A and B are shown apart, each in its own frame.
Chain A
Amino acid sequence: GESVGLHLPTLSVQEGDNSIINCAYSNSASDYFIWYKQESGKGPQFIIDIRSNMDKRQGQRVTVLLNKTVKHLSLQIAATQPGDSAVYFCAEKKGGSEKLVFGKGTKLTVNP
């Protein structure tokens, strides 16, 4: 069945370091992937997305990598800041569907 999961439930990094958050998915029919950030007391906020015809996409301080061979998605955050502390979710969408399937999330803590 469909499932989207993350390798680590928590990740702790030092301010200024780069962070890598991983996600594994099982549905090879998925054609679109999104990363969301959820801060305490707020709803998930869109960070970056990638279509299955790409393997890398860059935003401001963030990069998403997609490896379809091993069904793996990662989010890289450069020069992590305290404001990056949040729970990060990946989500996938199957081709032909409007529905996003979310993973459990990784809690990122940035230490000063």
Chain B
Amino acid sequence: ETGVTQTPRHLVMGMTNKKSLKCEQHLGHNAMYWYKQSAKKPLELMFVYSLEERVENNSVPSRFSPECPNSSHLFLHLHTLQPEDSALYLCASSSLGRYGYTFGSGTRLTVV
């Protein structure tokens, strides 16, 4: 375990479903990130939260909605997804000013 926990590990959802991905860290970090990892592509940064405030949204479709209720928890709410959204969704955290990210194991999402 890295200290960043993601649940669920696997998720299969229909295009009309609503689901949420959860990320939790107890490393004392104050920045959290959502990344999308698709086959044969670099990791794509989706959202950045710094001190619980969203500071970056990399042109992500509105069917993905992040939430950061406190510095230890990060959610990604999903609704009306498309099959091309199937991917591994990775959460990471870091301490501002210290640049290494700690990643969770990811949620493998399949949209059917």
Interface residues of A (CB under 8 A from B): 4, 32, 34, 36, 41-46, 49, 89, 93, 98-105
How many A-B residue pairs have C-beta atoms within 8 angstroms? Tell me: 51
Q: How large is the interface on B (under 10, 10 to 19, 20 to 34, 35 or more residues)?
A: 20 to 34
Docked-complex contact A44 and B90, CB < 8 angstroms: yes
Are B100 and A46 within 8 A (Cβ)? yes
Segment of B14-22, B40-48, B62-70, B71-79 in the binding face? B40-48
- Chain A residues closer than 8 Å to B48, beta-carbon distance: 98-99
Q: Shortest CB–CB separation between residue A2 and chain B, in angstroms?
A: 11
Across the A-B interface, the 3 shortest Cβ-Cβ residue pairs: A43-B103, A102-B43, A43-B105
Which A residue sits closest to B88, measured CB to CB? Answer: A43
Give the residue among B4, B50, B90, B101 with the most A Cβ atoms within 10 A. Answer: B101
A98 touches B43 (CB 8 A): no
The binding surface of chain A is classed by DSSP as strand
B56 interface hit (Cβ, 8 Å): yes
Chain B positions within 8 Å of A, measured between CB atoms, are 2, 4, 6, 31, 40-43, 45, 48, 50, 56, 90, 92, 94, 96, 99-106
CB–CB B90/A43 < 8 A: yes
Residues in B whose Cβ lies below 8 Å from that of A44: 43, 90, 101, 103
Pick 18 A–B contacts, CB within 8 A, sort by A.
Answer: A4-B42, A36-B103, A41-B105, A42-B106, A43-B6, A43-B92, A43-B104, A43-B106, A44-B101, A44-B103, A45-B2, A46-B100, A46-B102, A49-B100, A98-B31, A98-B96, A99-B45, A100-B101
* Nearest chain B CB to A64 CB, angstrom units: 13
In angstroms, how far is the closest chain B Cβ from the Cβ of A1? 13
CA distance A49 to B100 in the complex (A): 8
Q: Least Cβ distance of A8 to chain B in Å? A: 14
Give the residues in chain B near A101, CB-CB below 8 Å. Answer: 42
B2 x A104 contact (CB < 8 A):
no
